[in-house]
A and B are shown apart, each in its own frame.
With several copies, the nearest count.
Chain A
Amino acid sequence: PSVARAEVVTVFAAASLTTAMAEIETGFEALTGHDLAVSLAGSSALARQIQQGAPADVFLSANPGWMDTLEIDGLIAQGTRRDLLRNTLVLIAHDAQHPPVEIVPDMDLAAMLGDDRLAMALVEAVPAGIYGKAALESLGQWEATAPRVAQSNNVRGALALVALGEAPYGIVYATDAAVEDAVSVIGTFPAETHPPIVYPMAGIAGHEGAAQSALLDYLQGAEARAAFARQGFAVIAD
Chain B
Amino acid sequence: MQDWLSPAEWEAVRLSLRVALWATLFSLPLGLAVAYALARWRFPGREVLNVVVHLPLIMPPVVTGYLLLLAFGIKGPIGGFLDSTLGFAFAFRWTGAALAAGVMAFPFMVRAVRLSIEAVDPKLEQAAATLGASGAWVFLTVTLPLILPGIIAGTVLTFAKGMGEFGATITFVSNIPGQTQTIPLAIDLLLETPGGEARAARLAGLSILMAAAALAFSEWMARRVAARVGGR
Contact = CB atoms under 8 A, between A and B. Distances in A.
CB atoms of A and B under 8 A apart anywhere in the complex? yes
Contacts of B170: 41, 45, 152-153, 157
A69 B73 CA distance: 19
Nearest to A146: B177
Q: Which of B70, B193, B196 has the most chain A CB atoms closer than 10 A to its own CB? A: B193
B212 to A, nearest CB: 26
A45 to B, nearest CB: 5
Contacts of A124: 189, 192-193
A190 interface: no
A65 B69 CA distance: 21
B106 interface: no
Interface stretch (A32-40, A95-103, A105-113, A134-142): A32-40
Contact of A156 (B74, B179, B180, B192): B192
B174 A54 contact: yes
B195 interface: yes
Nearest to B69: A52
Main SS of the interface on chain A? Answer: mixed
Given A15-B192, A68-B194, A151-B174, A164 B92 contact: no
B14 interface: no
Interface string B153-192: 0000000000000000011011111111000000011011
B75 A38 contact: no
Interface string A1-44: 00000000010100110110000000000000000011111101
A39 B176 contact: yes
Nearest to A47: B194
Contacts of A165: 73-75
Q: Which range contains the number of B residues in contact with the other chain?
A: 20 to 34
B69 A48 contact: yes
A10 B177 CA distance: 10
A160 B69 contact: yes
Contact of B92 (A16, A38, A55, A69): A55
Interface string A71-95: 0000000000000000000000000
Given A44-B192, A52-B69, A153-B170, A39 B175 contact: yes
Q: Which of A16, A46, A154, A166 has the most chain B CB atoms closer than 10 A to its own CB? A: A166
Contacts of A16: 192
Contact of B174 (A66, A125, A126, A157): A157
A40 to B, nearest CB: 5
A40 B75 contact: no
A187 B196 CA distance: 25
8 contacts: A49-B73, A54-B73, A117-B92, A125-B188, A154-B192, A161-B69, A166-B91, A180-B194
Interface of B: 62, 65-66, 69-70, 73-76, 91-92, 170-171, 173-180, 188-189, 191-196
Given A37-B177, A44-B192, A49-B171, 20 more contacts: A19-B193, A37-B178, A39-B180, A40-B192, A41-B170, A41-B174, A44-B191, A52-B73, A52-B74, A52-B91, A119-B174, A125-B192, A150-B176, A152-B170, A152-B174, A153-B171, A157-B171, A160-B171, A165-B74, A179-B194
